[in-house]
Amino acid sequence: MHGGTKLARMTGRVLATCLLFAAVTACGKSEPTYSGISVMGRNYLPYNMNGFTITDGYGNKASGGGDDPPGAGGGSVACCYTLKGTEFTVKWKYYDADRWTMDDSHAQQVETKVVMPPSAVPEKVGSRILEVHFYPDRHVEFQFPGQLLDESRIPVVDVSRWMATHYQEQLDKKFDDTDGQSHRRIARTVAAAWLKYHLTDRNDLEQYAYFSLLVNSRFDAHPEIQRILQAAAGKPGTFAKSMQSLPESVLSALSNDAFEAVAVPAISDGLLLPPRTGNAQRG
């Protein structure tokens, strides 16, 4: 009986020591602090962004962006901020420039949560760049440290430039857009390709934009195109190569809109407004 009591006391002491150690360890854990950071936004939305703010759980705030069209970002930063922790709130405003008027900008405000694991802070202040990536589905991702001139995750501007370089005459004839309107139309198509199929490769997006805008707006509902898209999932560049070698029969069916459509992935309501029609707004 005496031995049992002694053992119980020892067990209790060990348990108490373990609990105390755990408490001290937990209290000793400090949240990561990022000081002297610059903030840079990347807009993959098919809309103009009108600035954004980042707030941590301690009241610190950082802001960036301006009136940034689709695809904007990189090379322009706002400095210098301090943020702390791993959980952040991002708020931003966006608007459809094709609906904008002097009386009503049709601006919308969005708020979302972002989690960023603890990251090493570069010694050089100029390298402490927090990239904020805004995706077409309105989720946001952080990259730290980022780079001023790294490649865009969704190359909206590159695709728009490629379309303008190779097909501007056809685009003008079909849509009668200004340069800004044409860019936004292409940006919508790129956003649709990402929302439906998560295409991010530049060549893939170029082919998607070409076929969607100049061949058939519902081209991806053709059974053969759906087969290609499904087979190319997760294989950057494969979709583009397949589209460049389509059989003549498929090209003819697409050009003449003569095919039985199959189901395509749906885009959630509100994420992608229809493109501009008519000439109500120029710019």
Which of 278 and 127 is assigned the larger pLDDT? Answer: 127
Summarised one tens digit per residue, pLDDT across range 18-69 is: 443 333 333 446 899 999 999 999 999 999 999 999 999 999 999 999 899 9
Query: What percent of the chain lies above the pLDDT cut of 90?
Result: 75
User: What pLDDT does residue 7 have?
Assistant: 42
Mean pLDDT of the chain: 89
Please tell me the pTM assigned to this model. Answer: 0.86
User: What pLDDT does residue 75 have?
Assistant: 60
The secondary structure of the chain, three-state, reads: CHHHHHHHHHHHHHHHHHHHHHHHHHHHCCCCEEEEEEEEEEECCCCEEEEEEEEECCCCEEEEEEEECCCCECCCCEEEEEEECCEEEEEEEEECCCCCCCCCCCCEEEEEEEECCCCCCCCCHHHCEEEEEECCCCCEEEECCCCCCCCCCCCHHHHHHHHHHHHHHHHHHHHCCCHHHHHHHHHHHHHHHHHHHCCCCHHHHHHHHHHHHHHCCCHHHCHHHHHHHHHHCCCCCHHHHHHCCCCHHHHHHHHCCCCCCCCCCCCCCCCCCCCCCCCCCCC
8 φ/ψ angles, rounded to the nearest 5 degrees = -65, -40
Q: Is the pLDDT of residue 16 over 80?
A: no
Confidence class for position 151, pLDDT limits 50, 70, 90: confident
Average confidence (pLDDT) over 167-191: 97
Least confident of 67-76, 114-123, 249-258, 271-280: 271-280
Query: Could you state, in order of their start, the residue ranges of all structural domains in the chain?
Result: 35-143, 156-255
- What is the fold, at CATH topology level, of the domain defined by 35-143? Immunoglobulin-like (2.60.40)
Confidence class for position 278, pLDDT limits 50, 70, 90: low
